[in-house]
Each structure stands twice: as C-alpha cells, then as structure tokens.
Chains A and B, each alone.
Chain A
Amino acid sequence: MSYNKIVKGRKGEEKFFLGNEAIVRGALESGIDVYTYYPGTPSSEVGETFMEIYKEVGMKWVESSINEKVAMEVAGSAYARGAAAMVGMKNVGLNVASDPLFALATTCPKNKNSAMVILVADDPQQHSSAVEMDSRYFLKIFKIPALEPSNPQECLEFTKEAFKISRELKLPVILRTVTMISHARSNVVIGEIKTSEIKDNFDLSKEINVALRLYFLKLKEDHIYNRLNRALEMSENSSLNKIENENAKNDFDLGIITSGVSYSYICEALDFLEFKAPILKIGFINPLPERKIVAFLRQFKQIFVIEENDTYIETQILAIAQKNKLNVKIHGKDPFSYSKENTMLLMVGELNPTKVALALTRITNLKPIIDLNLINKKKYKGLARNPILCAGCPHRTTGYALQKAVNKIKSDTGKEVYFFQDIGCYTLLALPPFSFANVKYCMGSSIALAQGVAQTSGSLSIAIIGDGTFFHSGIPALLNGVYNKAPILVLILDNGWIGMTGQQPHPGSDTRYYKEGSSKKAINLEDFLHGTGAYINVIKHNEGYDEKYLTKLRKLIYEKGLDVIENRNLHVIVIKDECIQKTNKRQAPVIRYINTHLCDNCGICFSKFQCPAIDSREDYAYIDPNLCLGCGICEEICPNNAIKMEE
C-alpha cells in the first residue's frame, strides 16, 4: 500500500500526500540510506512508512529504536560513516536525544555522502502531547541549520534541501514541523527518486568524530566560524527566505514576518480582510538571514511577527532591529513583558487564521466584513467528552482491580496511597472513575517519582508504567530503586505494544505479530526483571473468559502493596494483558449481552467500570454489540450474573 503510494510515480506527477508522507518522499529523492525513529505524534507516520518500504527501495537500514537518544546515536554514527541518515521524533523526543546531539552537531565527517537530517515535530495546543514545547530554542544551543515547511509540498522540497545543506556543510540539519503541517494533506508534485551514493570504504578518524577536548575545541571553532558562517550565507541567499507581495505597500507602513504554518494563516487572514502587505516568509529558520531582515525592516514603520508558540523569531528580530539602530515598531507576542495586554497573540495554544486576522485588525483598524468578535461570542457547547480507554482495554481492568486493592490497603493499614503516572494510554486512569494520579512528568519518570515520596514518607507509592515506556526510559529508575532499596510498588502494564501512538512494536513485543518481526529477537521482560534482584510477580490475562482473573489481580496487588508498607520491600508486578486493538480477540470478538431479567441497573458496569460499550437504559444496562470487543471482564464484575456471552 505505502509502496505504491509513496514510491511509485514519475517526476511531475501529483499525489495527495500527508505532510509526513511528503517528507518520506523528499528523503527518498535525496538518496536516504538510514532512518531511525521513536514513535510520537505527530511524527510517527514517517517512521512507519519507511519501515514498510525500506527493503523494497533498497535503503541500508531502518529501525524503530528503543528511545530517541538511541535513535539519534544509531543515525549519528551512520552519518559519521558516510550515510545519508535521518532520525525522527516528536518535540519532547528531542529532549531525550539532546545529549548526543551536542557532540554530533560539532563533529565533521569526512565522507562525501555524509548527511544528517533530524525531523522534530512540535505539537502546539498539545493535541497529543503532555506538554506544549517549542523545540526551536535548541537550534541556538546546538548551533545547527534548520528549515521549517509551511505545507506538504514544502515538506518534500525542504527535506531535500535539508539533505543538500547537510551534505555540503557537514552539519546536521533540523527539519521542524508542527501538527498542522505533518497532518495536513494536500496536492504534492513529486520529483525523482535518487539512488544511494554510500560507499563501503569510509573514514572514521578520531580527530573529527571524538568529543574530547584535545580535538573538540578546534572542531568547535570550525563549527561556528566556518560551517555555521557558511550556513548563514546560505540562509541569506536561500529562496526559502523570500519576500512576497513586495510592492503591496499599505497605509499603515506594515510589513509581515512569519514562518511555517503561520504563513498560511496570515495569507488566509489577509485575503479575508482584503488587505495586502509585503511578507518575509522565513523557511530557513536558523541561522536567520540578518542582512535580508534588515533590508526588509528598513522599508516599514511597523512589523507584525507571526509564529507558533514561543518568540524564537520575534526575539531575534528585536535584537536585529536594535543592533542596526532601526526605528520600527514590532508587534507580536512581546517576549519581554509577560502581560496579556501587551501582546497581539498568545504564547499559549495554537494559532489559526481567525486569531491572526483579529490581531491584524488591532494593529491596523481594518474592519472585517463579518464581525469575528460576534461569532466568537457564540458559546454553544456539545457534551463534555473526555478521551477514554477503548472498549475492552486491559488498562481499565487493571484500574478496577487496583482501585479495589488500594481501598482495602487504605482501610486495613490507615496509610495513604499515592500514584505516580507515566505516559501511555494508561495515563487516562488519571481521570474519573479511577483518578490514579498524584505526580506525572514525562516518559519513564513514574518509577523515580515514586521513590522521591517513598524515601521520605511512610505512605505507599505506586508507579504505573507501560511496557513501551519501561523499555524507553523506565529501566534506569528501576535499577536505582532496587539499589537504594526504595519501598515502592511498580506496576508494569504489559499490553505488548506501544498502544497510544498506534500499536507499534517495542523490543519486548511478540515478533510473530508484526511485519519486521522475523528479523528481530524479542527481549524477555520477565528474565530481564529477575536479573535485577527485585521481587517480581507476573500475572497473565488469558484470552477468552479467564475466570476470576480480576480477583487474582486484586489479591496480588493487595498482598504486595502490604509488603511494601510493612517490610519496605520493592515489588514489581507485571500485568500481561494485550492491547485490545492488537489481540486476536478483536478479530472475532465474543460479544457480551445483558440479560435484562437479571440486571437490576446497579450501575457497576457503566459507572464504576465505565466500559464505553455499556450504556444505561431506563431500567437496565445495555451493551452495544457494535462497540463491544469481547474482553469479558464485565462478566466478572457484574454482581447479578446478568452479563453473558453471546451464543
């Protein structure tokens, strides 16, 4: 499917590509050899597509790595050895991968074909992220070039440009997208796929690849005063930084500076207001082209800077204006005031054409033909609907057992119980009816967070972590806890896959059930855990109807929780219950139904357990056969034996 869609097609042909698909095509048109990634919305489709096609197109290597740091390192040394390499992640992934990137950014491979592109997909508005993070400030720390496309066509072209720049300068280049670009779909004209130019003999001399003061200060000097300087020249001359509507001078002496998706918003807003203004569109976002910016600023009395999230560009424009003694008023988010009154747009949340148009009316006194403020006053709201776990999700079962066990622990011991959450589908257990969350930061932090409270109080600290996240970054924290004898209870919710981002495999996933599996060797989580010397218990939910599973799970959590409190031991419970989106059960679910004679509408299944397939009717509960996925747990929780298997 992906092969036909992405790889087939001649130069000049038009495709209907997602931004992320266009990035794949752009990389193929640059002769890419290696792609490594860790899944994370909105970047995942790039890796998944490469995974599907890489053998057929003859790329050297593609992997879904254990975490972003490892992905960066695998791609990094491939780059050092002469590959055209690319690594992909979401915004916060760059935090995890930042340590190796400091060194990698300064090294200077000698192999002609060496090129390294880093895809970082930001997520303004946190559509699917735990924090709203603008990755662009990293560009100043790493001192590397970066490009930001404003539509799917540019996703293709900028990816090619990124490879070209990196190959020429021997600097890694960041390709920054946002959700509305990665997940926008549009007509994309394709070019020609390029074959790889990687060589079997290569140079890995230590002088250019080893981060050690002896070599490194010299490399750093070359990095900044030679390669970055050349990058600046490229940026000054690049057609990616271009002026549009150059002659559209207006009564307000106003010019616009923008980049990425914001460019499309301002164009939409200008059209709507039937107003024209020159636009400096910045596609080459680091280093910024100072001379080009100065020449642009000189023409205006007012400038409006539009960018998503932080004021990465605006702050630099202010500095450039000051350095060049230009008297121009800069409107935007005002990086120095932190006051909502002084700002045209907020640093919080995502922009859209309407917000941009409203800001423009405040700068210019233009009157829109329709009253946007009036429309914005419409306050209709549909039902409040929280995202919920899938019908039949194993995490709900765990949540239910955990709730019972914890209530009993609390009443038997009088101790408080605290929950340390992690990042995955199970994070939703933080919401009612379970509300298991006291502290939660980022991926892999739950086990260490539990220790901070456990080491300083007598309460019970429970870490809730998924198998995917445990492999990603939970392991060091567990070892820390074992070594320091932290009295915590760790629940590893082993659903077999990285559920949240689309059921991708991780190193513990069953190799029989995914495409690349036959070439992998799964890590046995239990064996691994036994090696740590912690107390380990494993419980498995068998397919079909596993009688009294819930009771067994509840008892196990109760017993081990009690031992943590009484004897200050560290316990790990591995709960093996597969993601319903992956299980065989889903192919032919044994649907449950409610015997209305036996049901007394007690509400346990629909309000305490809250499977979304179960609804409340006038006098009894009702299971929607279109939604039930047949996990069978409701059968065990019903106190009236009213839930049965469909014959």
Chain B
Amino acid sequence: MNIDSYTIVVTGLGGQGLIRLLEILGNALITEGYKVMTSETHGLSQRGGKVTCFLRFGDRLHAPIPMIGSADMIIALEESTILDVLKHAKPDKSTNLIISTYEKHEIGIEYPSLKDLLEILYENSDNIHFIPAKEIAVKYTGNLKTMNTAILGYILRFLPLNRSIIEESMIQLFSGDALEMNLTALNEGINL
C-alpha cells in the first residue's frame, strides 16, 4: 500500500514499555517495506515521568517529530496522559484516540474525572476508543506487562499490517512464557 505519511503518537509513563511497543510495530512495518521513523525517549524513563514517543511511516516523511495537528493515531497507555498530547490531534477531529483505561494516581493530585475527560476528548476527536487493557491483561495473562500488547492487537485494524507479521515481530523479541502471554494478549486485543 502506498502511504504518504502516517503518524502515531504514543504517550505514557516511564517504564510502561513504550520503546518495546514501537520496536515491534516498526520491525513489522519495515518487513512490509515501509520507510519508518521513530523518536524514542531513553534515559531517566524508568522513573515514572511522562514520556511521549513518535512512530511515523510512509514515503513522504522527513522528521522524527511530526507537526502538531497531524497525528493519525494517538495512543495513551495511561488514561490521563492523553491530555498532554492533544495538540497532535487533527483539527478535523479524525484522529483515532486509543486510550487505555489504566489509571496511575499521584498522591495529593486530583485525577481528572471521566466526565471532564470525555468533554475534552469530544472536542478533539470523533474517534475515541477506550481499551480496558489492564482488565484484559490480568484476566487472560495474569500479568500487567501485557497491557501494551492488547492495545497493539486493537490498533491493527487501523494499520496496513496483518496479524502474522506482528506475531513474527514479537517472536524476534520474546520467547517462552513471555511470548505465549503476549500472543494471548494480542489475540484478545484483535478480538475486541
């Protein structure tokens, strides 16, 4: 498929495995012959601060960072972090917002209410998807670390990638139990 450029913004907290997620996606896209660019945040990131990374693919891209207002998809691996990256949503409200319902609260800071959050989200997109990633991960794999894979499974429907390519990309990076668990989570995400 010829694509000019497709931009994914991924945001979450340090230690949530953002880089892994980008690596699986990027490897799969490269196998399919796309030109891919990511920008990753390394260093300091295992310590809970907010992290934003980008993955872009297509024939017509230049920078690892996109223009604001141009993302095709925004993924928030922790619910409230979506608020930090809405500048990337397209003004025509077509950006797919993929939001994990996983919440990490901070002592002494009020967590945004669902009502407020929804109000803001509706201002910014007509394509909002909440994913109960934590519940899926716990229910089917018993391990929170598979949250991202469930989300990965879900977003495949928007990308020019089929399941087997992603599975192959995962086989490169995981083995044994971890691989089994991630394949299960991927499947649940695809079937959502």
Contacts and interface: CB of A to CB of B under 8 A. Distances in A.
Given A42-B42, A183-B39, A185-B38, A389 B91 contact: no
Contact of A385 (B69, B86, B106): B106
B13 A41 contact: no
B47 A388 contact: yes
A385 B27 CA distance: 31
B67 A16 contact: no
A181 to B, nearest CB: 8
A620 B65 CA distance: 43
Nearest to A371: B91
Given A380-B86, A382-B81, A610-B107, A501 B43 contact: yes
Contact of B40 (A185, A616, A626): A185
B63 A607 contact: no
A52 interface: no
Interface stretch (B29-37, B152-160, B181-189): B29-37
Nearest to A432: B108
A531 interface: no
Given A372-B68, A382-B50, A18 B40 contact: yes
A552 B35 CA distance: 58
A294 to B, nearest CB: 27
Contacts, number: 150
Contacts of A184: 37-40, 64
Interface in A265-285: 265, 267-269, 271-272
Interface in A241-290: 261, 264-265, 267-269, 271-272
Contact of B43 (A128, A428, A616): A128
Nearest to A607: B107
A419 to B, nearest CB: 20
A390 B47 contact: yes
Contacts of B180: none
B148 to A, nearest CB: 14
Given A370-B91, A616-B107, A180 B64 contact: yes
A271 B68 contact: no
A381 B36 CA distance: 29
A380 B43 contact: no
A567 interface: no
Given A265-B65, A372-B69, A385 B49 contact: yes
B80 interface: yes
B62 A383 contact: no
Nearest to A614: B107
A590 to B, nearest CB: 18
Interface residues of B, number: 51
Contacts of B60: 271
Interface stretch (A68-76, A338-346, A350-358): A350-358
A382 B46 contact: no
Given A127-B41, A128-B44, A186-B36, A378 B67 contact: no
Contacts of A128: 42-44
Interface string A361-399: 000000000111011101011111111111000000000
Interface in B48-67: 48-50, 60-67
A180 B87 contact: no
B43 A381 contact: no
B168 to A, nearest CB: 14
A387 B48 contact: yes
Contacts of B118: none
A500 B60 CA distance: 37
A257 to B, nearest CB: 17
A508 interface: no
B68 A185 contact: no
B157 to A, nearest CB: 23
19 contacts: A128-B42, A128-B43, A128-B44, A185-B37, A186-B37, A186-B64, A264-B62, A268-B63, A370-B69, A376-B87, A378-B86, A380-B86, A382-B83, A383-B109, A383-B112, A387-B48, A388-B49, A500-B44, A607-B107
Given A184-B37, A383-B109, A606-B107, 8 more contacts: A184-B40, A264-B64, A357-B67, A370-B91, A374-B91, A383-B111, A390-B47, A612-B48
Interface of B: 13-14, 22-23, 26-27, 30, 35-44, 46-50, 60-70, 80-84, 86-87, 90-91, 105-109, 111-112, 120, 144
